């Protein structure tokens, strides 16, 4: 018999009170208790944590029934992430725990478990200050598994797969982590190859190998079998991709021999109304939206993400820059760094080094004392240890654009580490040449120079360090700095530096999608300076990036609307207030600014049939066409041309009064998987089906059939309406709900109601 892995996501109970029977209530995993906590504008560390009262100690318990215990087997509990500082008991016996909230950990519970009923009790302590400077959530927010293993079993963290390309042949080397007999089978559905090892290494050649890339994310399945004598006692399955990345100074990053630019997004791990308890299917929908607009990479910031996210990136074809933590001896991790850094760094690399999607490791982000001797010593230590775990990828560190002169500072007394890192003070280095000299110190250690918001200094950096490539690990979405200052509100988009400089391998925009926490001030509960809102609605500037990143002909128009509410975005991370509507009842022929994003050679625009002439996109500093139109209710149509032929178009119409609701999808087919979640959006429409952008009516959702409503979200981070209800007001003409399946087959009907409008229905066929 081989291993048995059982997901344990149901049957849990939770309390924020004392762990007594009368206090527990049923919950589903993944679970984030903070997302339903009350909002308190005066709470401690409110802005970073989205003003949700997360502080406290939570208790989880579950009754686990074992029909029998197999002789010669061991039993492990695997937690993929508990935020944070957790302790686990089985039948009253303490079996271990973990401090850092993002690391997977596995506990041997063989000595504590028994046949029949078993009680698992988990204490989660979220009382330590400070918490992360973004919304971290609270609780058992990732998967939990029970592992039943033969005493002689494979250890996934010890398994390492390396591959190289020799012409059209892929050579795969598998380090098994054991000297016992292990066989390996590699298949992609058509090819089936095997190998055997008793020395811990298996070598298999794949003729005419299908290479992995974002454009063609080809994967192979690897099945390992561990023998004891003639009997298979354990098996383990993983997926690999064969690909080759080469960093060539002055020329760029080459993936499988092809020059590749990183077209990336930074992301945090929450999903708006779900908090950090986000199942893989919710992230899959998000990642597919990213990919559709040309994104080919993500940076989970600033910690190891859920394992399922990397599985999705392997499948979909998204490169990943993965980093272990944010600050080191400052910030929230300072209470763990000295004793935990090695274990947490190893947890990331050992779990994830076999993913083809990961192209670079990061060992920190915007740390304290940047480029000073103490910082360089830690950076060198972290990199050297990481290379003992994986020497197949570049190792880097994401630099803050601020540098300071050496001074004696007690970091333990710094309450806001990011403010300390960013603040302009007497110790700030302003001279660009001195900045570059500090950057060069870091460049001596890292393999790729990773810069946050430093496009304006790329030429100087390259001149000082010509033998290292540069990656923009964080970039502004619209504005760009000036060589003499970090921020400058000009029309030079940071992406254009990536396009024109061969030694810059890419840019990763901060951020791809809005997230909770890191608020710039109440009433904002999160960060709104992104390309998508928390309920997956695209923002106008996202189409500018689509025009940069895709070849498929596209054209898009939005207009300036400063009547929209201030969402609390940080100024230089913000973008001009464009909106996708043509409803200005307060105006009468007032001229309104517009923007057109396109990858076409020429564009035409007409209003109610009257054509206006515009220059070609290449005439504008960032290839975004701008101009003015007089407000006249009706229809605006833009057309895109290549080789004088119309290849695409976009229409914006004035909407009438909202008279009905309409789901984006009306019929959906899903498998009957317990716990599966999906977000659906309903819009306000006029009699002709035109979306009514300005509608803000209250919408209530109902569901019948084998499903339930989990939460609601409208993308408005300034709203204080609760997520854990079945109603919410529309924001910019729409509102969304997340539905969870109960596992049974049947017909699910989701209905949206709003007073004064016709209701909408969505039908799910669940089989």
Bond before 523 cis per omega within 30 degrees: yes
Tens of pLDDT, residues 625-645: 999 999 999 999 999 999 999
- CA distance linking residue 517 with residue 537, whole number of Å: 19
Q: Output b/e per residue, 245-266; b: 16+ Cβ within 10 A.
A: bebeeeebbebbeeebbbbbbb
Average pLDDT over residues 117-146: 96
Q: Mind listing the domains of the chain with CATH numbers? A: 4-150 (2.60.120.260), 547-653 (2.60.40.10), 660-766 (2.60.40.10)
Whether the pLDDT of residue 8 is over 90: the answer is yes
Cβ-contact 25, 13 below 8 angstroms: yes
Tens of pLDDT, residues 56-83: 999 999 999 999 999 999 999 999 999 9
Whether the pLDDT of residue 1 is over 60: the answer is no
Chain-centre distance for alpha carbon 700: 29
Tens of pLDDT, residues 78-99: 999 999 999 999 999 999 999 9
Cβ-contact 691, 683 below 8 angstroms: yes
Count other Cβ atoms within 10 Å, centred on residue 726: 15
* Helix and strand counts by DSSP (H, E) for the chain: 9, 49
Confidence band of 421 (pLDDT split at 50, 70, 90): low
Average pLDDT over residues 453-472: 97
Average pLDDT over residues 727-746: 97
Beta strands 169-175 and 515-516, pairing class: unpaired
- CA distance linking residue 276 with residue 480, whole number of Å: 31
Q: Euclidean distance between the first and final Cα of the chain, in Å?
A: 31
Higher pLDDT, 483 or 285: 285
Token pair of 178 as six digits: 């054991």
pLDDT for the residue 277: 98
Q: Which SS3 state, helix, strand or coil, does residue 439 take?
A: helix
Those residues with Cβ within 8 angstroms of residue 13's Cβ, 6 or more apart along the chain or in another chain: 24, 25, 26, 27, 60, 61, 62
Cβ-contact 394, 361 below 8 angstroms: yes
Whether the pLDDT of residue 104 is over 80: the answer is yes
Confidence band of 358 (pLDDT split at 50, 70, 90): very high
**Which of 200-204, 235-239, 311-315, 486-490 is the least confident region?**
486-490
Cβ-contact 244, 236 below 8 angstroms: no
Tens of pLDDT, residues 325-339: 999 998 899 999 999
Average pLDDT over residues 655-678: 94
Confidence band of 418 (pLDDT split at 50, 70, 90): low
Tens of pLDDT, residues 231-277: 999 999 999 999 999 999 999 999 999 999 999 999 999 999 999 99
% of the chain residues with pLDDT over 90: 91
When the pLDDT of each residue in the chain is averaged and rounded to a whole number, the result is: 95
Average pLDDT over residues 104-123: 97
Confidence band of 426 (pLDDT split at 50, 70, 90): low
pLDDT for the residue 713: 98
Q: What are residue 124's DSSP bridge partners?
A: 58, 86
Count other Cβ atoms within 10 Å, centred on residue 456: 21
Question: In Å, how far are 164, 206, 508 from 254, measured between CA atoms?
Answer: 14, 22, 18
**Which of 291-300, 403-412, 442-451, 584-593 is the least confident region?**
403-412
Nearest to 121 by CA among 101, 93, 148: 93
Count other Cβ atoms within 10 Å, centred on residue 220: 25
> What residue has token string 């909408």?
760
Confidence band of 485 (pLDDT split at 50, 70, 90): confident
Beta strands 139-140 and 698-704, pairing class: unpaired
């Amino acid at each position: 018999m081989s291993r048995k892995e059982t997901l344990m996501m149901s049957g849990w109970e939770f309390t924020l009170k004392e762990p007594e029977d009368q206090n527990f209530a049923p919950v589903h995993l993944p679970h984030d208790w903070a997302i339903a906590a009350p909002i308190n504008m005066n709470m401690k560390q409110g802005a970073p944590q989205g003003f949700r009262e997360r502080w406290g100690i939570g208790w989880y318990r579950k009754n686990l029934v074992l029909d029998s215990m197999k002789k010669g087997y061991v039993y492990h509990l695997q937690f993929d992430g508990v935020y944070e500082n957790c302790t686990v008991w089985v039948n009253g016996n303490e079996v271990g725990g973990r401090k850092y909230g993002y690391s997977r950990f596995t506990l041997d519970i063989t000595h504590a478990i028994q046949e029949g009923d078993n009680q698992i009790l988990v204490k989660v302590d979220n009382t330590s200050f400070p918490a992360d400077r973004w919304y971290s959530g609270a609780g058992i927010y990732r998967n939990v598994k029970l592992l039943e293993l033969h005493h002689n079993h494979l250890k996934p963290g010890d398994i390492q797969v390396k591959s190289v390309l020799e012409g059209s042949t892929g050579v795969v080397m598998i380090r098994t982590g054991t000297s016992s007999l292990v066989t390996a089978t590699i298949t992609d559905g058509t090819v089936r190859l095997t190998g055997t090892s008793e020395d811990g290494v298996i070598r298999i050649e794949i003729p005419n190998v299908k290479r992995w890339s974002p454009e063609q994310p080809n994967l192979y399945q690897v099945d390992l079998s561990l023998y004891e004598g003639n009997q298979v006692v354990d098996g383990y399955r993983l997926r690999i991709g064969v690909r080759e990345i080469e960093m060539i100074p002055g020329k760029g990053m080459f993936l499988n021999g092809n020059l590749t630019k990183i077209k990336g997004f930074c992301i945090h791990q929450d999903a708006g109304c779900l908090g950090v308890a986000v199942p893989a299917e919710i992230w899959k929908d998000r990642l597919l939206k990213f990919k559709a607009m040309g994104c080919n990479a993500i940076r989970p910031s600033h910690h190891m993400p859920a394992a399922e996210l990397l599985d999705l990136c392997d499948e979909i074809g998204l490169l990943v820059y993965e980093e272990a933590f944010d600050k080191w001896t400052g910030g929230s991790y300072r209470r763990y760094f000295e004793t935990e850094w090695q274990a947490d760094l190893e947890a990331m690399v050992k779990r994830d080094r076999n993913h083809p999607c990961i192209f670079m490791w990061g060992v920190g982000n915007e740390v304290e004392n940047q480029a000073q001797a103490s910082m360089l010593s830690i950076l060198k230590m972290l990199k050297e240890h990481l290379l003992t775990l994986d020497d197949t990828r570049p190792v880097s560190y994401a630099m803050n654009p601020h540098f300071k002169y050496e001074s004696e500072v007690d970091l333990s007394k710094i309450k806001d580490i990011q403010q300390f890192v960013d603040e302009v003070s007497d110790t700030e280095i302003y001279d660009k040449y001195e900045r570059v000299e500090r950057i060069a110190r870091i460049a001596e250690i890292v393999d790729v120079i990773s810069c946050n918001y430093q496009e304006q200094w790329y030429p100087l950096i390259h001149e000082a360090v010509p033998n290292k490539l540069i990656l923009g690990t964080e970039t502004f979405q619209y504005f760009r700095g000036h060589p003499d200052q970090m921020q400058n509100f000009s029309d030079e988009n940071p992406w254009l530096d990536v396009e024109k400089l061969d030694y810059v391998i890419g840019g990763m925009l901060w951020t791809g999608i809005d997230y909770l926490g890191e608020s710039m001030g109440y009433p904002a509960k999160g960060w709104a300076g992104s390309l998508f809102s928390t309920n997956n609605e695209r923002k106008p500037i996202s189409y500018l990036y689509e025009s940069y990143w895709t070849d498929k002909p596209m054209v898009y128009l939005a207009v300036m609307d400063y009547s929209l509410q201030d969402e609390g975005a940080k100024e230089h991370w913000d973008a001009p207030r464009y909106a996708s509507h043509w409803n200005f009842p307060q105006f009468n022929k007032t001229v309104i600014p517009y923007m057109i994003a396109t990858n076409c050679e020429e564009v035409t625009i007409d209003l109610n049939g009257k054509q206006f002439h515009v220059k070609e996109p290449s005439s504008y500093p960032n290839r975004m066409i701008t101009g003015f139109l007089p407000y006249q209710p009706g229809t605006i149509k833009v057309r895109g041309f290549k080789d004088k032929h119309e290849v695409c178009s976009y229409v914006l119409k004035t909407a009438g009064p909202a008279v009905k609701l309409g789901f984006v999808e009306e019929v959906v087919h899903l498998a009957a998987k317990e716990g599966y979640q999906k977000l659906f959006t309903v819009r306000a429409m006029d009699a002709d089906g035109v979306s009514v952008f300005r509608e803000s009516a209250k919408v209530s959702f109902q569901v019948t059939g084998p499903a339930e409503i989990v939460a609601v979200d409208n993308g408005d981070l300034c709203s204080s309406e609760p997520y854990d209800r079945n109603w919410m007001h529309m924001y910019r003409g729409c509102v969304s709900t997340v539905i969870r399946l109960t596992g049974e087959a049947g017909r699910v009907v989701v209905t949206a109601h709003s007073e004064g409008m016709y209701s909408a229905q969505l039908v799910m066929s669940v089989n």
